[in-house]
């Protein structure tokens, strides 16, 4: 019965996809003949724009121009200084790196890649350390959801959204191609060459290819605090070899009529250093990944304000994990997983009046997971999301609301499937600007969101199907104020943001590390209350004609406590791996072609278990980085050389208990354009 229902659902989804693609093709053909939009002249901006803070929902951005300034090697490094962000880092250049926003957990963060979600139905945790920055133009973190309402329904279905926008070709007839060549090298035996090739094919067609190869032995010295010794040991089995290639084809008739097609392939082989207990560094765990996805998108905005957005994606992720030291009857673990996803999304928006926009979006996806485990369930999940949203602007007010309908049905080949889910989720947002100059803004939002357990949470190491992990419901409340001001003197600009928030979570699902860092132990905490505040400041000053300084400070306070059972030993105690205070500071100077920047992240202590006892205590830490960037002319071409000194003071610390972080290290990079 479940198999026939799955076949019917798949056929229905395939038929819908075919109809939508035929509709897209006819629209594409008709619009190519009827669109008469004019191309605007290019305008060169010589100064840095003000940070985008006057959004209806809290947002933070970082662009490609600032990645070196923040000593960022991957996406996880780039966002670690954002307010409200807590990165769980298992250490090393290839260690797993996930992000939790406002203590809600990594599974509540949707990672969008050019508007389409990077989905992991198996464990829900996107490893941001795998995402290279050479193909990234801008990264934006939204609390709640993005402010634009013509979005895929998945953009409304998470507590927060990390939007990654890749570099698009920006070429002319006079310069029909551009090639970026670069190489990075440094500590851990790192060697990382990369290539970016942009090519203009015609007035409307262009493509871009990005590829990198990364190899590192991963070895670094560490010392365990509190054991009374002065000796250090070397991290082993942390080697990494990875290859990633991303190709994109673009058709652009105008900014309001465009199409893209992406292909991405990732191949890696890495060692997984285990937990260090009493200076036992031995680990023989390994993991191989072979991932590929194909995604496409089409967007058209007509002159009558009708807006259509279509996205589709096919993906396959293969993971092979081995642990020969695991004690079982098979002489260790040898696990292989293959997950596949078919995803289709359509969104339509229309301005009913000058300040009133209405949108509808519908997403459908099929996820499957196969594994070589004994009596594995082989689950299949059909997810259908529908969202109706509206945006209304009148005078000093902007109001926004959305209603999301989530339908989830699962089937399995063995055991019992998890029950079906049908949930309505409401989001309300408001922004008010009391003065006509719009420098000052007040904002608030409420979001009710639902998160279904992942396949691993439900079916990993079970012989009877679904394990019974309960779904998680979260409610978010936020009130904030923003202020920005541009000057024409010593200060070029200053921005201030302050948001207080309260999150209440029912049946919160928490991941705790075990012998396999890729797949964590899962528990339900019952009910969690989260009170917090995010405060941010950014400024830029002109010290002299060729001198500029920049400063960015983000502070986060989080009080995330378990309020499930007043009789339990951990009632009203901080949930695992949640520091109460974090501070991120970045500042530096630009002088002509030279830039020198200092970056510091401070985190207070936390506990790795729900019982906040001394035995479960994890020390806080303060880590400093320095970056030096110099732009030069190399062989009559623009080039840049940079040096990043990470953990400048050789601080001995951990983010995850028993997984020591590297000490002082460096990365030297050189790149040039042809």
DSSP labels, 197-230: EEEE-SSSEEEEEEEEEEEE----EE--TTSS--
Number of residues that make up the chain: 674
pLDDT at 31 over 80: no
Of 436, 506, 444, the closest CA to residue 471 belongs to 506
**195 near 212, Cβ under 8 Å?**
yes
**469 near 509, Cβ under 8 Å?**
yes
Reported as a pLDDT band with limits 50, 70 and 90, residue 511 is low
Residues 6+ apart with CB under 8 A from 133: 64, 67, 72, 73, 74, 75, 78
Q: In angstroms, rounded to a whole number, what is the distance separating the alpha carbons of residues 104 and 502? A: 11
Predicted local confidence at residue 278, as pLDDT:
67
Reported as a pLDDT band with limits 50, 70 and 90, residue 514 is low
Q: Which of 15-24, 196-205, 475-484, 538-547 has the lowest mean pLDDT?
A: 15-24
pLDDT at 339 over 50: yes
Percent of the chain with pLDDT over 90: 70
Predicted local confidence at residue 249, as pLDDT:
97
Strands (E), 273-379: 285-301, 307-323, 333-353, 356-371
Q: Which two tokens stand for residue 650?
A: 């050789």
Helix (H) or strand (E) holding 393: strand 380-394
Predicted local confidence at residue 2, as pLDDT:
42
As a whole number, the mean pLDDT across the chain is 88
**316 near 338, Cβ under 8 Å?**
yes
Q: In angstroms, rounded to a whole number, what is the distance separating the alpha carbons of residues 362 and 348? A: 9
pLDDT at 49 over 80: no
Reported as a pLDDT band with limits 50, 70 and 90, residue 46 is very low
What is the largest distance, in Å, between two alpha-carbon atoms of the chain? 77
Q: Which of 11-15, 146-150, 321-325 has the lowest mean pLDDT?
A: 11-15
**Cross-strand pairs, 309:** 299, 347
Q: In angstroms, rounded to a whole number, what is the distance separating the alpha carbons of residues 84 and 159? A: 13
Q: In angstroms, rounded to a whole number, what is the distance separating the alpha carbons of residues 384 and 364? A: 5
Predicted local confidence at residue 601, as pLDDT:
96
Reported as a pLDDT band with limits 50, 70 and 90, residue 211 is very high
**Cross-strand pairs, 213:** 243
| CA distances from residue 568 to 561, 562, 573 in whole angstroms, order as listed | 13, 10, 10
Predicted local confidence at residue 403, as pLDDT:
98
**379 near 387, Cβ under 8 Å?**
no
Residues 6+ apart with CB under 8 A from 386: 153, 360, 361, 362, 363, 404, 405, 407
Instruction: Return the CATH fold of 2-32+46-673.
Output: Maltoporin; Chain A (2.40.170)
Residue range 482-503: average pLDDT? 93
Q: Which of 112-121, 274-283, 403-412 has the lowest mean pLDDT?
A: 274-283
pLDDT at 28 over 90: no
Reported as a pLDDT band with limits 50, 70 and 90, residue 47 is low
DSSP 560: E
Residue range 308-337: average pLDDT? 92
**511 near 519, Cβ under 8 Å?**
no
Reported as a pLDDT band with limits 50, 70 and 90, residue 283 is confident
Task: Count the alpha carbons within 13 Å of 9 in the hemisphere toward its beta carbon.
Answer: 21
Q: Which two tokens stand for residue 472?
A: 């998680």
Of 97, 79, 74, the closest CA to residue 659 belongs to 97
Look up the pTM and report it.
0.90
Beta-carbon neighbour count of residue 292 at 10 Å?
15
242-259 pLDDT, tens digit each: 999 999 999 999 989 999
DSSP 3-state of 492: strand
Distance of CA 601 to the CA centre of its chain: 19
Residues 6+ apart with CB under 8 A from 82: 60, 62, 141, 554, 584
459-483 pLDDT, tens digit each: 876 667 776 788 899 999 999 999 9
pLDDT at 19 over 50: no
Predicted local confidence at residue 516, as pLDDT:
52
pLDDT at 594 over 90: yes
């Amino acid at each position: 019965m479940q198999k026939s229902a799955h076949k019917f659902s798949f056929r229905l989804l395939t038929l819908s996809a075919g109809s939508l693609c035929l509709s897209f093709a006819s629209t594409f053909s008709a619009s190519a003949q009827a669109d008469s939009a004019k191309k605007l002249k290019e305008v060169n901006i010589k100064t840095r724009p003000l940070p985008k803070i006057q959004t209806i929902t809290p947002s933070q951005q970082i662009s490609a121009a600032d990645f070196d300034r923040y000593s960022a090697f991957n996406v996880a490094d780039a966002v670690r200084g954002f307010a409200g962000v807590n990165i769980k880092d298992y250490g090393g250049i290839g260690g797993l790196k996930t992000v939790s926003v406002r203590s809600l957990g990594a599974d509540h963060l949707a990672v969008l890649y050019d508007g389409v979600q990077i989905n992991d139905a198996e464990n829900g945790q996107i490893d941001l350390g795998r995402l290279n920055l050479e193909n990234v133009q801008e990264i934006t973190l939204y609390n709640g959801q993005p402010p634009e309402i013509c979005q895929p329904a998945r953009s409304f279905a998470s507590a927060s959204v990390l939007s990654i926008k890749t570099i698009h070709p920006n070429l002319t007839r006079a310069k029909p191609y551009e090639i970026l060549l670069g190489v990075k090298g440094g500590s851990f035996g790192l060697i990382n060459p990369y290539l970016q090739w942009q090519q203009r094919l015609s007035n409307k067609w262009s493509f871009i290819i990005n590829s990198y190869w990364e190899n590192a032995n991963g070895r670094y010295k560490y010392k365990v605090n509190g054991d009374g010794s002065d000796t250090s040991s070397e991290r082993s089995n942390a080697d990494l070899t990875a290859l990633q290639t991303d190709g994109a084809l673009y058709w652009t008739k105008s900014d309001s009529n465009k199409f893209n097609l992406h292909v991405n392939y990732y191949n890696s082989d890495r060692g997984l250093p285990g937990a260090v207990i009493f200076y036992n560094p031995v680990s023989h765990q390994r993991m191989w990944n072979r991932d590929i996805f194909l995604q496409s998108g089409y967007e058209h905005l007509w002159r009558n304000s009708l807006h259509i957005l279509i996205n589709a994606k096919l993906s396959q992720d293969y993971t092979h994990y081995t642990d020969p030291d695991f004690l079982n009857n098979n002489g260790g673990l040898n696990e292989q997983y293959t997950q596949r996803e078919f995803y289709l999304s359509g969104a339509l928006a229309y301005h009913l009046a000058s300040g009133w926009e209405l949108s509808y979006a519908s997403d459908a996806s099929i996820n499957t997971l196969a594994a070589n485990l004994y009596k594995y369930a082989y689950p299949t999940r059909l997810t259908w999301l529908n969202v109706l949203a509206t945006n209304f602007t009148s005078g000093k007010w902007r109001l926004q609301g959305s209603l999301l309908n989530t339908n989830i049905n699962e089937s399995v080949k063995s055991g019992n499937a998890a029950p079906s889910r049908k949930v309505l989720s409401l989001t309300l947002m408001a922004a008010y600007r009391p003065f006509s100059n719009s420098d000052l803004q007040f904002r608030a939002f409420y979001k009710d969101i639902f998160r279904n357990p992942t396949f691993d949470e439900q079916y990993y190491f079970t012989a009877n199907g679904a394990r019974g992990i309960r779904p998680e419901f979260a409610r978010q409340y936020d009130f904030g104020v923003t202020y920005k001001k541009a000057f024409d003197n010593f200060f070029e600009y200053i921005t201030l943001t302050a948001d207080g928030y309260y999150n209440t979570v029912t049946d919160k699902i928490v991941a705790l590390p075990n012998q396999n860092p890729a797949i964590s132990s899962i528990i339900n905490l019952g009910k969690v209350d989260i009170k917090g505040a995010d405060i941010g400041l950014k400024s830029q000053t002109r010290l002299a004609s060729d001198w500029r300084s920049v400063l960015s400070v983000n502070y986060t306070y989080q009080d995330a406590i378990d309020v499930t059972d007043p009789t339990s030993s951990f009632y009203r105690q901080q949930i695992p791996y949640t520091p109460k205070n974090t501070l991120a500071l970045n500042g530096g100077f630009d002088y002509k072609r030279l830039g020198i920047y200092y970056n510091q992240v401070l985190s207070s202590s936390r506990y790795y278990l729900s019982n906040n006892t001394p035995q479960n205590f994890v020390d806080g830490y303060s880590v400093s980085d320095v970056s030096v960037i110099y732009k030069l002319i190399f062989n009559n071409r623009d080039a840049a050389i940079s040096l990043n000194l990470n953990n400048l003071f050789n601080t001995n610390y951990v983010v995850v208990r028993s997984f020591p972080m590297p000490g002082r290290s460096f990365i030297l990079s050189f790149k040039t354009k042809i």
